[in-house]
Amino acid sequence: MSNSVTDIDWGAFFNCTGLTDVYYSGTEEQWKNISIASYNDCLKNATIHYKPWAYTINTVTKSSTGVTVNLTQNSAAEGRLIIAAYDDSGALVRAVVSDIFLSAGETSNVDVSMDTSGAVRAFVWDLGTQTPFAECK
């Protein structure tokens, strides 16, 4: 099923008793945002297989000189690591972009020098399609 689906109308999967698995081209978060109308119990009871993330952010560690992100590349993809720093009020104060040079299955640390006095979050982004490649941490 395409990740472009936003709504599933009333009874679209009514009485589809043979439906056991759905292969969805988006993430679990995207699936949860689909509006599914009544009488689609077969769909709701099926096992949903989501598109796997191209990267997994394992840990994000702050130090006095910056941030270390430990990540694993799960599949072939060219991504950019974005580290965002926030002040105590939650406002974005700085974002640093770093290229990622990993092979599928490889795990590595990426070190980014930056002020880390507030909160930090890490993202892996596909700059070509403007879509996330990993769940942010």
Mean pLDDT check: name the lowest of 34-43, 54-63, 96-105. 96-105
To the question of pTM greater than 0.75 for the whole model, the response is no
For residue 75, pLDDT beyond 70: yes
pLDDT at 34 over 90: yes
Q: What is the largest CA-CA distance in the chain?
A: 59
Q: Where are the alpha helices (H) located in 1-109, listed in sequence order?
A: 28-32, 41-45
Residues 42-76 as b/e (b if ≥16 CB within 10 A, e otherwise) read bbeeeeeebeebbbbbeebeeeeebbbbbbbbbee
Task: Tell me which of 14 and 52 has the higher pLDDT.
Answer: 14
Q: Which residue has the higher pLDDT, 111 or 35?
A: 35
